[in-house]
Amino acid sequence: MATNKLKSGRVVVKVPASTANLGPGFDSLGMALSLFAWVSLKPSDTTRIMLVGDHLKGVPLDKTNLVYEVAQAVFRKAGIEIPELEIGIRSDIPLTRGLGSSASAIVGALVAANALIGNALTDDELFQMATALEKHPDNVGASLFGGIIAAAWDGERAGYVRIEPPQGMEVLVAIPEFELSTKKARNVLPEQVTMQDAVFNVTHSSLLTAALAAGRLDLLGQAMRDRLHQPYRAALIPGMETILRDATSHGALGAVLSGAGPTLLMLAESGQPEEGRLEAFVKQVMSAEGINVSTRWLKPCLHGPEVRFLGEKDPGYHEAPQQYLASVEAEVGV
Ligand code: HSE
């Protein structure tokens, strides 16, 4: 096996979180968000995995770790052998909340492993691998390319177009304290839907994609409506129906379930005076249902992963990854 392209050093990759679906674009539309995870990889004598942050409790510390497995898949595809890795993972993205934490880990591992072998694989190869692992391209596409992604996967190949997010758009996320697995949120979906509902989603998803590409924020309230997944998932998230129905009369441009949930996501115009009113409305609805939520204002993240390469002479190279990752600035890198 070839080893000539292997770089000696530590690669650190910062990856954005993402939201999927944006309402009607089920398994198709995704948007990167200004909330981040970091993956650090370095060839080593034995495999060691170090974690930073409260969000990673329960993540395996052996070779069943997702980052380890994905990195090995990259090396195998490139015909390069690096069996032992020192891995560091930091995530500020809450797990199983519909903010693409697993997609960020997959994309972080793919990009870091690829950087370690001199970018032997193309971005498209990484996207195809990421989609095959996640089984839908929306979150991984947004984390890999930044901005907004419109994608379709036929089980073999994923095609995508990246759209620059409209200017002047902010994102309010309301993250419930309970977790909801994508599996559970997919299990409540029906096997079949009516032609009427299918047509509703095709038309609204098309309008939404075009409105986002054209910067038509005025159309989002209408275009972000969905009949394929949100009505069925509403039973799993108390308060969701009220928020999705009434957020636009409290200052939101549109309101949706973020991915498979349980996080709710609202788009709003930057600098508009009703931000506080919207946030208060969301908190009050959820609290009336007995659900604690943390709210956070984010921005669309305009870029994909940022790669830093630490050579032997760079500060951070000799530190343990958890020390280095704990010190990286959690700046809003949009
Ligand atoms: N499109 C997926 C879903 C997102 O809604 O089930 C989950 O990552």
Q: Number of structural domains, the chain?
A: 2
- pLDDT at residue 304 in the model: 96
Task: Give yes or no for residue 269 CB within 6 A of ligand 1.
Answer: no
Q: Are residues 17 and 126 in the same domain?
A: yes
Question: Ligand 1 center to residue 228 CA distance, Å?
Answer: 12
Q: Are residues 198 and 156 in the same domain?
A: no
Domain range for residue 50? 10-164+301-326
- CATH of residue 52: 3.30.230.10
Q: Answer yes or no: is 82 within a domain.
A: yes
What is each CA distance from 114 to 15, 18, 85, 120, in whole angstroms?
14, 21, 14, 6
- pLDDT at residue 267 in the model: 97
- The Cα diameter of the chain in Å comes to 63
- pLDDT at residue 309 in the model: 86
- Burial label for 190, CB within 10 Å (0-12, 13-18, 19+), is exposed
- pLDDT at residue 327 in the model: 66
- pLDDT at residue 179 in the model: 87
- pLDDT at residue 128 in the model: 98
Task: Give yes or no for residue 48 CB within 6 A of ligand 1.
Answer: no
- pLDDT at residue 332 in the model: 34
Q: Residue 3: is its pLDDT beyond 80? A: no
Mutate-to-test residue for ligand 1 from 27, 29, 149, 265, highest number of ligand atoms within 8 A of CB: 27
Question: Ligand 1 center to residue 313 CA distance, Å?
Answer: 42
Under the banding of pLDDT at 50, 70 and 90, the label for residue 56 is confident
Cβ-count burial 229-261 (b if 16+ within 10 Å, e if not) = bbebbbebbbbbebbbeebbebbbbbbbbbbbb
Q: Are residues 87 and 192 in the same domain?
A: no
Q: Residue 2: is its pLDDT beyond 70? A: no
Q: Answer yes or no: is 47 within a domain.
A: yes
Task: Give yes or no for residue 165 CB within 6 A of ligand 1.
Answer: no
Residue 30 contacts residue 19 (beta carbons within 8 Å)? yes
- pLDDT at residue 331 in the model: 38
Closest residue to atom 8 of ligand 1, CA basis: 259
Question: Ligand 1 center to residue 264 CA distance, Å?
Answer: 13
Least trusted range by pLDDT, from 38-42, 55-59, 259-263: 55-59
Mean per-residue pLDDT over the chain, rounded: 92
Task: Give yes or no for residue 224 CB within 6 A of ligand 1.
Answer: no
Q: Residue 4: is its pLDDT beyond 50? A: no
Q: Answer yes or no: is 104 within a domain.
A: yes
Q: Which two tokens stand for residue 245?
A: 């129905």
Q: What is the mean pLDDT of residues 46-62?
A: 87
Q: Which two tokens stand for residue 303?
A: 């870029």
177-222 residue pLDDT tens: 998 899 999 999 999 999 999 999 999 999 999 999 999 999 999 9
Under the banding of pLDDT at 50, 70 and 90, the label for residue 7 is low
Q: Answer yes or no: is 48 within a domain.
A: yes
Residue 291 contacts residue 177 (beta carbons within 8 Å)? yes
Q: Answer yes or no: is 111 within a domain.
A: yes
Under the banding of pLDDT at 50, 70 and 90, the label for residue 91 is very high
Residue 102 Cα: closest atom of ligand 1: 8
Q: Answer yes or no: is 3 within a domain.
A: no
Q: Is 94 assigned to a binding site?
A: yes
- What φ, ψ does residue 16 adopt, rounded to 5°? -75, 150
Q: Are residues 30 and 95 in the same domain?
A: yes
112-140 residue pLDDT tens: 999 999 999 999 999 999 999 999 999 99
Q: pTM of the prediction?
A: 0.92
- pLDDT at residue 288 in the model: 95
Task: Give yes or no for residue 226 CB within 6 A of ligand 1.
Answer: no
Task: Give yes or no for residue 259 CB within 6 A of ligand 1.
Answer: yes
Closest CA to 303 of 8, 27, 36: 36
